[in-house]
């Protein structure tokens, strides 16, 4: 796919991985709409249309895609909400259930978005390295990420010739982590000390993987890892 001149929608496009993807798409000449629950926090992004929507609101998502139709590129990096962390036997089950809001959000994006895409359109979702290598305390992350990747493999044949893929990040330095300064640096150093590449990845490095998935017309129903060696560590 030549991204130049294509119409793109990026859900969760005003922060972190989503925002980095928006910037890369704009630089490649795409016409981009960035969507989030709080689009105002992104400020003005040159060449980008900002829209407000919650991925868990099915009616609102359906209207959004109808209003933006037709389009060629659909990316979702929206987290959906809170995530439960910690040992499963001690876990608050409502918190565990809420973690799956990410899956429901992605399901809404694909269900209501794919039908308005061009036949050569491409969808990319974002899962996470715990989907296939779960570290202690990450049961909910692993469960949800695994479900996202299974959804993509199952949906890919149904929506062909449109393509759908997943990018799976490892530990990435994004605004989701509230710590700052030396505390932030120490946290990421601890989290990545066992990785083959012992540092946190950047949102732009993940966005680069997303762009690859969009541009490569011979890839569908699969996952690419941008994880610093998480799966091998």
The residue ranges of every structural domain in the chain are 7-227
Is the pTM higher than 0.85? The answer reads: yes
Position 164 pLDDT exceeds 90: yes
Position 178 pLDDT exceeds 80: no
Q: For domain 7-227, give its CATH number from 3.40.718.10, 3.40.50.300, 3.40.630.30, 3.40.50.720.
A: 3.40.50.720
Q: What is the mean pLDDT of the chain?
A: 94
Within 10 A of 82 (CB to CB), how many other CB atoms are there? Answer: 12
Q: Tell me the two tokens of residue 115.
A: 């039908």
> Which pLDDT belongs to residue 180?
76
For 128-146, the pLDDT digits (tens) are 999 999 999 999 999 999 9
> Measured in Å, how far apart are the chain's first and last C-alpha atoms?
34
Q: How far is CA 19 from the centre of its chain?
A: 11
Percent of the chain with pLDDT over 90: 83
Q: CA-CA distance, 152 to 224, in Å (whole number)?
A: 12
Beta strands in the chain (DSSP E): 7-11, 31-36, 48-52, 71-76, 117-126, 163-169, 172-173, 201-202, 223-226
Closest CA to 101 of 54, 59, 133: 54
């Amino acid at each position: 796919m030549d991204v130049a001149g294509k119409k793109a929608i990026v859900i969760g496009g005003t922060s972190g991985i989503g925002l980095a993807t928006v910037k890369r798409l704009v630089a490649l000449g795409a016409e981009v709409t960035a969507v989030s629950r709080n689009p105002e926090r992104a400020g003005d992004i040159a060449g980008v249309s900002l829209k407000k929507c919650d991925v868990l609101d099915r009616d609102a998502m359906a209207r959004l895609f109808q209003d933006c139709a037709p389009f060629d590129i659909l990316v979702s990096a929206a987290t959906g909400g809170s995530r439960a962390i910690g040992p499963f036997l001690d876990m608050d089950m409502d918190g565990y259930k809420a973690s799956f809001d990410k899956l429901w959000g992605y399901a809404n994006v694909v269900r209501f978005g794919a039908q308005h895409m061009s036949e050569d359109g491409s969808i990319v979702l974002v899962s996470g390295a715990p989907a296939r290598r779960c570290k202690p305390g990450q049961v909910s992350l692993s469960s949800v990420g695994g479900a996202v990747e299974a959804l993509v493999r199952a949906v890919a044949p149904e929506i062909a010739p449109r393509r759908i893929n997943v990018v799976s990040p490892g530990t990435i330095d994004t605004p989701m982590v509230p710590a700052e300064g030396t505390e932030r640096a120490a946290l990421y150093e601890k989290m990545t000390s066992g990785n083959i590449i012992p540092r946190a990845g950047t949102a732009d490095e993940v966005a680069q993987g997303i762009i690859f998935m969009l541009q490569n017309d011979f890839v569908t129903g699969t996952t690419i890892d941008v994880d610093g060696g998480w799966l091998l560590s």
